[in-house]
Amino acid sequence: MGLLDQMAGMLGGQAGKLGQYQAILSWLESQGGIQGVLDKFRQGGLAAIVESWISSGANLPISAEQITSVLGSPAIGQLAEKLGMNTQTTSALIAEYLPKMIDGLSPEGEVPAQQDLLSEGLNLLKGKLFS
């Protein structure tokens, strides 16, 4: 049994969320990784929101509309297809998870330049489950 299977089993009814989390991490990699996605948000005028996720303070929220505006409907559509959801629901899901992911992956107030996002994200999730 693989790590994902074990974690899904431990989550019980939350197994679907684990699959969503993994799919978002993989999709983020295809969008240029964390640094690439953060750069898109900064270029889209949302630098203050992004910086709140990286800093040690409270995370500012982001809306599903802002996610779609910055990342684009085609990119959201790719993830929506993988998740079996519509694009609006997918954008809302990204808006929910992305601030938490970025916050967890930048504990020192900086996003590491090179990282295996899927491994780092799963390690972060594993730490929350086992601590």
Q: Where are the domains of the chain?
A: 19-130
Residue 59 — φ and ψ, nearest 5°?
Answer: -80, 125
- Note the pTM of the prediction, 2 decimals: 0.73
Mean pLDDT by 10 residues, the chain (131 residues): 40 60 84 88 96 90 96 94 93 91 79 57 51 44
pLDDT for residue 2: 41
The predicted pLDDT at position 122 comes to 53
Unique residue bearing structure tokens 């519509």: 86
The predicted structure's pLDDT at residue 130: 40
What pLDDT sits at residue 79?
A: 93
Q: Tell the CATH topology of 19-130.
A: Arc Repressor Mutant, subunit A (1.10.10)
Output the pLDDT for position 11.
Answer: 42
Q: How far is CA 22 from CA 36, 46, 50, in A?
A: 18, 25, 21
Burial (CB < 10 A; 0-12, 13-18, 19+), residue 80, is buried
